[in-house]
Amino acid sequence: PVALASYRPAIHFTPPHGFMNDPNGLIWDGKVFHLYYQYNPHGTHAGYVHWGHATSPDLYNWHDQPVAISVSEAGQAFSGSVVLDRHNRSGLFPQLPLAHQEAADLKAAIAAISGPGAASAFAQNKASQDGEGGLVAIYTRSRPHSQTQFVAWSPNQGTTYLDWPGDPVLDIASDSYRDPKVFWHEASQKWVMALVQARARKVSFYGSADLLHWRHLSDFGPAGLRGVDYECPCLVELPVAGEGTPGESQTRWVLFVSINPGAPLGGSGTQYFVGDFDGERFTPENTLLGLLDFAKDCYAMQTYNDMPSNDVPGGAAVYLAWLSNWQYCNELPTQGWRGAMTLPREMRLRRDGEGWLRLVQQPWQLERLREAPLPFRAHRLGPMERAHTPLPANLAVEIEVTVRLEQGPGSQPGRFVIAFVNRGTATMPGEELTVGVDLQTNQLWLDRSGLRGYSQPFFTGQFSEALPAGLERVELRIILDASTLEVYAQRGMCVGTALVFPANPLNGLELRAENAQVTVHEARVWPLRPTMA
Ligand code: FRU
């Protein structure tokens, strides 16, 4: 079978070695993007959790950094977030040049946490840091029977963090109280924290002016799906596409809640509520709950704090999620490493045909990685026709297809199928991974059950979502990158994310009409420039 190395994605972030789960501390600090992540550097199973770290100029080219927060006597370093305390409102950052002894103490503390490399980075960076604020992490320390929130400040632009001596900053004597996501709430001029009382299935909101004193604001939940634990809440203001006036877009607040176990498809999944946040309380505007993804491998999403603004005031809402599921994350057939992040995704809301505000998502600035498109043409596919192109080896590919579909003659349901295939070998039959649209049931589907690289009872194969009724055109955008597949349909209204483990590389792409007439308005295939060295 396959060289296992080929399971490692070319444009999705993966840890150098060891086990990775949730993204943490996502922030643009004015110079680089930080990605911290739940990390076991000592093995390929969950546990012994540190904060791993990588930095990037563009959310695609990642540079590995030393561990930023380690396991300590206070417990494992569970999920959390990072904010930029630009004006040193916390008072955590030294205002005067450090005395020689203080600097030496800090350096020793950093070396003890993250090794001599980090300590010398500290020495180099210190000069520019004095007298200003900097990055502050707010995260959970977890030990048997206790989960509490910690605040930690970085003396070296995010390379390492030092716990505040007053920690824990929040302690309610609970063993299921975690995952603080903190952001600056401009309207009420304070930091807001969302965190979970996991077993009570509640999201609690707190407010603070200095990151050290927190006032309880309100609680939300249980709501929508219950499951066993609520985890990794994320509250974010999103623009409503096409509504409002130029320069002033309509917005809504959206609350995302990750659930594990007990997601509708099994194991982990993420629900969201659309509503309003007045600085104290989140109020959903209806009882509808949305699901972030129609497949199984998109969990613990978190948005970037302080995104640079381009066309969106306040910066685009861009998130990363863990591309896995607690049902099988510890057993995946990768070697030496486990866990991948999704591509960075930008979110908005759009009103669907029935008037509901729905989440829409697109990969963020992926166009930058496109190489010359493959010479692939397809205009019209009659009832049993197919168009085929070989795919380049070891590269991520992006496919964009827009088609019009009509039922063909005969009673068999008409379908349009995009298939990633291989012919197999003398000892191994061919495989295929498909994404398709079924005309009779109006469903978009994703089917990984034709792959043979991995099987496990919970690693189910088929996922689907109903497309908006009465579709004129089907618009699909698909990214296949080694063991990851992302599907964005109808300009991001239906998104599916799946781990995929073929036994042999998928080296062909087919567009097929099955009992359908397919008019191809557009079909383009781009190899994507690798960004993960
Ligand atoms: C979510 C989660 C969080 C926790 C972390 C531990 O996947 O269970 O609730 O902080 O992972 O690694």
Do 89 and 65 share a domain, yes or no?
A: yes
Strand pairing partners for 178? 196
pLDDT score for 310: 67
402, part of any domain: yes
Q: Which residues are catalytic?
A: 22
Expressed in angstroms and rounded, the spacing between residue 319 Cα and the centre of ligand 1 is 17
Distance, CA of 487 to CA of 505 (rounded, Å): 19
Distance, CA of 232 to CA of 300 (rounded, Å): 5
Domain that holds residue 146: 15-93+132-363
Expressed in angstroms and rounded, the spacing between residue 531 Cα and the centre of ligand 1 is 27
- Residue 127, φ and ψ in degrees, nearest 5: -55, -45
Mean pLDDT of 38-54: 98
152, part of any domain: yes
- The residue contributing the CA closest to ligand 1 atom 6 is 78
Do 319 and 358 share a domain, yes or no?
A: yes
In this structure, what CATH number is given to the domain that contains residue 391? 2.60.120.560
Residue 17, helix vs strand vs coil: coil
Per DSSP, the residues of 450-468 read T--S---TT---EEEEEPP
Strand pairing partners for 515? none
Do 263 and 396 share a domain, yes or no?
A: no
Kindly report the average pLDDT of the chain as a whole number: 92
Q: Quick one: which H or E segment has residue 140? A: strand 134-143
* Strands in 225-286 per DSSP E: 229-245, 248-260, 269-277, 282-284
Do 181 and 200 share a domain, yes or no?
A: yes
Mean pLDDT of 425-440: 93
Cβ contact 245:276 at 8 Å: no
Which residue, among 49, 44, 47, has the nearest Cα to 70 in the 3D structure?
49
- Position in ligand 1 atom list of the atom nearest CA 322: 7
Residue 296 has pLDDT above 60, yes or no: yes
Strand pairing partners for 76? 142
Residue 1 has pLDDT above 50, yes or no: no
**115-to-9, 71, 104, 160, 351 alpha-carbon distances in Å:** 29, 14, 14, 10, 51
Expressed in angstroms and rounded, the spacing between residue 439 Cα and the centre of ligand 1 is 40
Residue 395 has pLDDT above 80, yes or no: yes
Do 192 and 289 share a domain, yes or no?
A: yes
Pocket test for ligand 1, best of 36, 50, 142, 231 (most atoms within 8 A of CB): 231
State the total domains in the chain: 2
482, part of any domain: yes
10 Å CB burial of residue 330 (0-12, 13-18, 19+) is middle
Pocket test for ligand 1, best of 142, 178, 302 (most atoms within 8 A of CB): 178
**Final residue before a domain boundary, out of 331, 348, 363:** 363
Expressed in angstroms and rounded, the spacing between residue 139 Cα and the centre of ligand 1 is 11
* Strands in 339-395 per DSSP E: 345-351, 357-363, 380-381, 386-390
pLDDT score for 94: 85
2, part of any domain: no
- Position in ligand 1 atom list of the atom nearest CA 229: 9
By DSSP bridging, strand 18-28 and strand 337-338 are parallel
pLDDT score for 107: 72
Do 409 and 348 share a domain, yes or no?
A: no
Token digits for 268?
Answer: 């982990």
Q: Give residue-wise pLDDT tens across range 338-392.
A: 999 999 999 999 998 889 999 999 999 999 999 999 988 888 998 889 999 999 9
Residue 326 has pLDDT above 50, yes or no: yes
Distance, CA of 10 to CA of 264 (rounded, Å): 30
Do 268 and 218 share a domain, yes or no?
A: yes
DSSP 376: -
Expressed in angstroms and rounded, the spacing between residue 22 Cα and the centre of ligand 1 is 7
pLDDT score for 125: 52
Q: Give residue-wise pLDDT tens across range 410-431.
A: 888 899 999 999 998 888 899 9
**Final residue before a domain boundary, out of 301, 330, 363:** 363
Which residue, among 322, 331, 264, has the nearest Cα to 298 in the 3D structure?
322
Distance, CA of 110 to CA of 108 (rounded, Å): 5
**409 cis-preceded (ω within 30 degrees of 0):** no
**127-to-98, 166, 312 alpha-carbon distances in Å:** 9, 26, 34
Neighbouring CB atoms inside 10 A of 99's CB total: 10
Do 244 and 204 share a domain, yes or no?
A: yes
- Quote ipTM for the complex: 0.98
9, part of any domain: no
Amino acid symbol at 272: Y
DSSP 96: S
Which residue carries 């070695």 as its tokens? 17
Residue 65 has pLDDT above 80, yes or no: yes
Cβ contact 26:139 at 8 Å: no
Token digits for 62?
Answer: 């990642």
* Strands in 304-414 per DSSP E: 317-322, 337-338, 345-351, 357-363, 380-381, 386-390, 396-407
**Final residue before a domain boundary, out of 345, 363, 381:** 363
Residue 296, helix vs strand vs coil: coil
Q: Give residue-wise pLDDT tens across range 93-137.
A: 987 566 677 777 777 776 776 666 666 655 555 544 445 899 999
- The residue contributing the CA closest to ligand 1 atom 9 is 231
Pocket test for ligand 1, best of 19, 22, 296 (most atoms within 8 A of CB): 22
In this structure, what CATH number is given to the domain that contains residue 167? 2.115.10.20
Q: Quick one: which H or E segment has residue 417? A: strand 415-424
Expressed in angstroms and rounded, the spacing between residue 366 Cα and the centre of ligand 1 is 28
Pocket test for ligand 1, best of 19, 36, 78, 174 (most atoms within 8 A of CB): 78
- Position in ligand 1 atom list of the atom nearest CA 49: 12
120, part of any domain: no
Return left, alpha or beta for 336; rule: phi > 0 is left, psi -120 to 50 is alpha, else beta.
left
- Position in ligand 1 atom list of the atom nearest CA 46: 12
Q: Quick one: which H or E segment has residue 118? A: helix 116-129
- Position in ligand 1 atom list of the atom nearest CA 198: 9
Residue 363: CB partners within 8 Å, gap ≥ 6? 343, 344, 345, 346, 477, 479, 486, 488
| Cβ-defined contacts of 32-36 (< 8 Å, 24+) | 32/56, 32/57, 33/57, 33/58, 33/59, 33/304, 34/82, 34/135, 34/158, 35/62, 35/320, 35/341, 36/68, 36/69, 36/82, 36/137
6, part of any domain: no
- The residue contributing the CA closest to ligand 1 atom 8 is 231
Residue 38: CB partners within 8 Å, gap ≥ 6? 20, 21, 22, 24, 46, 49, 51, 52, 78, 79, 322
- Position in ligand 1 atom list of the atom nearest CA 79: 10
Pocket test for ligand 1, best of 45, 138, 179, 292 (most atoms within 8 A of CB): 179
Do 245 and 373 share a domain, yes or no?
A: no
Burial 156-195 (b: 16+ CB within 10 A, else e): bbbbbbbbbeebbbbeeeeebbbbbbbbbbeeeebbbbbb
Residue 108, helix vs strand vs coil: helix
Distance, CA of 345 to CA of 304 (rounded, Å): 10
Do 148 and 182 share a domain, yes or no?
A: yes
Residue 515: CB partners within 8 Å, gap ≥ 6? 383, 384, 407, 408, 409, 410, 412, 413, 414, 415
Q: Give residue-wise pLDDT tens across range 190-220.
A: 999 999 999 999 999 999 999 999 999 999 9
Q: Give residue-wise pLDDT tens across range 503-524.
A: 999 999 999 999 999 999 999 9
- Position in ligand 1 atom list of the atom nearest CA 142: 10
Q: Quick one: which H or E segment has residue 109? A: helix 100-114
DSSP 342: P
Expressed in angstroms and rounded, the spacing between residue 79 Cα and the centre of ligand 1 is 6
115, part of any domain: no
Q: Which residues line ligand 1 (CB under 6 A)?
A: 21-22, 38, 49, 78-79, 140, 178-179, 231-232, 300
Do 459 and 388 share a domain, yes or no?
A: yes
Expressed in angstroms and rounded, the spacing between residue 49 Cα and the centre of ligand 1 is 9
Residue 246: CB partners within 8 Å, gap ≥ 6? none
Do 301 and 236 share a domain, yes or no?
A: yes
Expressed in angstroms and rounded, the spacing between residue 260 Cα and the centre of ligand 1 is 9
